[in-house]
Amino acid sequence: MLHSNTLRRSALAVVAATLSIGMMACNKTTPPATNSVTAVSATAAKTTLAIGETTQATATVTVTGSAAKTVTWTSDNAAVASVNASTGLITAKTAGTANISACSTVSGFTTKCGSVKVTVSAATSTGPTAAFNVQFTAAGAPVAANFTADRGAAFNGTSGWVTEATANSATPTALPMASATRYRDPSDTANIVQGLATEKYGLVLLHCTTCSSSTEAGPAAWEYKVNPGKYDVEVSVGDADKRNTDSNYVINVEGVKVLGPVAPTAGQIVSATKTSIQVNDGFLTVDSIGGTNTKINYIKVTPSAVQ
């Protein structure tokens, strides 16, 4: 016959074993889900930038299985520093700080993100950018003395053409404009105005509203990196081909209308204007909003005597 103490000890052992098994089940480590993102970190090649400077951000994505390592980039202060959503290229716009974040494109209970803080320093230049002259013309066309040729190259972060809709924005979209360049060869004495300066025979068509070719680019704007400051700007518009008078020229610099509307006539095929413009964002921007078939020949930019 079993004693009651023996039975009691046996029952306690069964309970202890059951509790132990239950605790092991509760404390079991759950393996991470297959094909998931476990962490994202972000770095930048430079974290202190000057206005107008660019730097590359890089994301490190830790995954399990074969989860995608793609990210989307954002800035919490695009007015200070913008970032290309797909490439992570950071552009410094104005003085201040911004957090640049990379977030995984893989959805889950919690989207994994990493960020890096960048600081944009105020301009340290003692003055505006030195004077420069740009002639807009076609490939292979002659260039006037003291001018640099712009033959329709897309914006490269320093100068070039962007879409009109994104000009003056934190992230302008580069736009190749070679198809919109022209050179009016004065050897065609029947159709081309004679005796003009070399820089007036080339042009870029900012917005062609009457073109029949689907290859014409635009509407476009032109941007050029400069130090903040006040500048004297001279802009010329027109088409030396006497047959082309279906235009109503308008030129805006930094959002300010400086020329037009001007319709070309046989007696005035090319028009120019001079004005003073303040640049604050580090880029001189030219567009033709409000015009029709505006054609730009050249631009001359000189620091104003009074800043």
CATH code assigned at 221: 2.60.120.430
For residue 1, being part of any structural domain is answered with: no
Q: What pLDDT is recorded for position 17?
A: 46
Domain membership of residue 159 as a residue range: 132-303
Neighbouring residues of 288: CB distance < 8 A, sequence distance ≥ 6: 164, 206, 207, 219, 221, 249, 250, 251, 252, 294, 296
- End-of-domain residue from the set 89, 121, 153: 121
Predicted confidence (pLDDT) per residue in 23-52, tens digit: 444 455 555 557 788 899 999 999 999 888
- The verdict on 142 and 92 lying in the same domain is no
Highest mean pLDDT among 3-12, 13-22, 206-215, 286-295: 286-295
As a whole number, the mean pLDDT across the chain is 86
Tell which residue, 81, 189, 201, has the closest CA to residue 138. 201
- End-of-domain residue from the set 121, 143, 160: 121
- The verdict on 90 and 230 lying in the same domain is no
- The verdict on 114 and 151 lying in the same domain is no
Range of lowest pLDDT (17-26, 118-127, 243-252)? 17-26
pLDDT average, residue stretch 227-251: 93
- The verdict on 99 and 199 lying in the same domain is no
- The verdict on 176 and 238 lying in the same domain is yes
Q: Dmax over Cα atoms in the chain, in whole Å?
A: 132
- The verdict on 141 and 181 lying in the same domain is yes
Judged on CB neighbours under 10 Å (0-12, 13-18, 19+), 303 is middle
- The verdict on 100 and 152 lying in the same domain is no
CATH number of residue 53's parent domain = 2.60.40.1080
For residue 4, being part of any structural domain is answered with: no
pLDDT average, residue stretch 109-134: 82
Question: Would you say residue 18 has pLDDT above 90?
Answer: no
- The verdict on 150 and 248 lying in the same domain is yes
Question: Would you say residue 218 has pLDDT above 80?
Answer: no
In which element (H, E) is residue 88 found? none
Q: What pLDDT is recorded for position 125?
A: 53
- End-of-domain residue from the set 121, 154, 185: 121
CA distance 194 to 185: 10
Question: Would you say residue 2 has pLDDT above 70?
Answer: no
Q: Provide the whole-model pTM.
A: 0.61
Predicted confidence (pLDDT) per residue in 290-307, tens digit: 999 999 999 999 999 877
- The verdict on 207 and 291 lying in the same domain is yes
The CA–CA distances, whole Å, from 23 to 11, 14, 28, 30, 171 equal: 18, 14, 8, 14, 56
